[in-house]
Amino acid sequence: MKSREGNTLIVGLTWGDEAKGKIVDLLAAEHDVVVRYNGGNNAGHTVAFGGRTYKLHLVPSGLFREGTTCVIGGGVVVDPKVLLEEIARHEAQAPRLRQRLLVSSRAHTIWPWHSKIEALSEKHQGKGKIGTTLRGIGPAYADKANRVHAIRMGEFLRPEHLRRKVERVVEARNEAFTKIYGDPPLDAAAVWREYAAYGEAVRPMIADTTAYLLGAVERGKRILFEGAQGTLLDIDHGTYPYVTSSSASAAGAWPGSGVPARAIGQVLGVVKAYTTRVGEGPFPTELKDALGDQIREQGHEYGTTTGRPRRCGWLDTFAIRYSARLNGIDAIAITLLDVLRGLPQLKVCTAYAVDGKPLAEFPDDPAVLEQARPVLEDLEPWTEDISAARKFTDLPRTARAYVKRVEEIIGAPVRVISVGPDREQTIRRP
């Protein structure tokens, strides 16, 4: 195996929206290939430069770097309609995107029945709902695991086969829609007309991306792995059942791209300077008060994909230490540090307690997590605007102390500090 040093993995250490998109865009300049390995258009990754902001859901956040090849790996679930809309929206700013974008023939696809079934299921759950993005992600992964009605990207290369399969799948789905949910059926012919056209348009981008990536590793190309969601939303290691349906930790990169984990040189874990969560599920450091509102407003914490207000709370280093160990991180990127400016107090959570007793480990039991209360440590707040800082020494003493304390608790060096949404608003540390 060629040197692994050039290969980097970016992973969110909490419940998503850690500003992975910004970090991927930044580091894409130092890599040849950017690959998404999990999730689908439930992700909303933001990239900002040159006074403009771009929101990405499926196309890897390296698209604006002309020298990179962008790969959508086999672990991603692809909604072809969303993919094509996104390419069309951004190709003026992303030169030759259609020639630089490869979509895995192994990636599973999202169809109208997936989002319909998800909406019906969430509605039926009522208060017990997961609070998903309603993009059909869970049902598409369920079909993948179930195999019978799953459709992979590669099947668009055989339209006649796919037309017949869509007829069969819609017929089976309509049974459930009409008989169980009392909902109107889907029209297979109409679905096929629409999706056959998407198939035509995506066909030139469909490739055996596993073979491509393995070849790229062998040729010494530098690969950047772009995780979607975050470790605490991982289907196996997250706060189940309030998680997404894919491997959203670094563990997903191997199956999701085909590149063996040992080819990855560096794992960079991304955290916000505070913690947020969208959707339902336990969140021990959540601030359900005016402070939480202040953080939400200062950080513009509204979902990139669904526009929902994000729940905001203190930085949860107890959860992050768990994620850091689970992902085997080498370094940390702290983002949105500027947002903490001017808070009347500043705290980080260093441990959880249940009935006054500290927990030794991040709980595996959702009922315990629900009862966990954060043990908080006070740090000194700052009032200065830090968004123009470009070196660590430009930061006020208090902000530097915050970063150093986080390093100390998590046990990994902070190599990147983001002080604003723009590409330029970044501090790199050796």
**Is residue 20 involved in binding ligand GDP (CB under 6 A)?**
yes
Which one of residues 242, 338, 349, 386 is an interface residue with ligand GDP (CB under 6 A)?
A: 338
Q: Which helix H or strand E contains 81, and what residues bound it?
A: helix 80-90
Of 17-25, 129-137, 158-166, 355-363, which segment contacts Mg ion by CB under 5 A? 17-25
Of 275, 390, 266, 357, nearest to 322 by C-alpha is 275
Strand partners, 316: 349
For ligand IMO, the closer of residues 77 and 102 by Cβ is 77
Is residue 217 helix, strand or coil? helix
Which one of the listed residues 25, 31, 32, 45 is annotated catalytic? 45
19-267-229 Cα angle (round to 5): 40
Give CA–CA dist 273/299, Å, rounded: 10
Q: Of the two residues 41 and 69, which places its CB atom closer to ligand GDP in the complex? A: 41
Q: Count the residues of the shown chain that bind Mg ion, applying the rule CB under 5 A.
A: 3
Q: Shortest distance, CB of residue 421 to ligand GDP, whole angstroms?
A: 3
Query: Which of 8, 11, 18, 216: binder of ligand GDP (CB under 6 A)?
Result: 18
17 is catalytic: yes
Q: Show contacts with ligand GDP in window 401-420 (CB under 6 A).
A: 418-420
Number of residues interacting with ligand GDP: please give it, by CB under 6 A: 21
Among 44, 230, 363, 421, binds Mg ion (CB under 5 A): 44
Residues that bind ligand IMO (CB under 6 A): 12, 15-17, 42-45, 130-133, 135, 137-138, 228-230, 233, 244-245, 278-279, 304
Which residue type occupies 201? A
Name the nearest CA neighbour of 296 among 275, 320, 270, 318: 275
Task: Name the nearest CA neighbour of 106 among 154, 55, 63, 163.
Answer: 154
Comparison of 105 and 335: residue with beta carbon closer to ligand IMO = 335
SS (H, E, C) 242-268: CCCCCCCCHHHHHHHHCCCHHHCCEEE
Choosing among Mg ion, ligand GDP, ligand IMO, none, which partner's interface includes residue 244 (Cβ < 5 to 8 Å by kind)?
ligand IMO
Asked if 226 touches Mg ion (CB under 5 A), the answer is no
Question: Comparing C-alpha atoms, which of 311, 327, 369, 376 is closest to residue 350?
Answer: 376
| 17 near Mg ion, rule: CB under 5 A | yes
* Residue 244 engages ligand GDP in binding (rule: CB under 6 A): no
> Would you say 164 or 308 has its CB closer to ligand GDP?
308
**Binding flag, residue 136, Mg ion (CB under 5 A):** no
Site string for ligand GDP, 288-327 (x = CB under 6 A): ----------------x-----------------------
Alpha-carbon span 430 to 424, nearest angstrom = 17
Contact (Cβ atoms closer than 8 angstroms) between residue 118 and residue 136: yes
- Of 263 and 287, the one with the shorter C-beta distance to ligand GDP is 287
For residues 14-38, b (16+ Cβ closer than 10 Å) or e, as one string? bbbbbbbbbbbbbbbeebbbbbbbb
CA atoms of 224 and 263, how far apart (whole Å):
11
Instruction: Name the residues annotated as catalytic.
Output: 17, 45
Instruction: Kindly list the residues in this chain that would bind ligand GDP in the complex (CB under 6 A).
Output: 12, 16-22, 44-46, 48, 304, 335-336, 338-339, 418-421
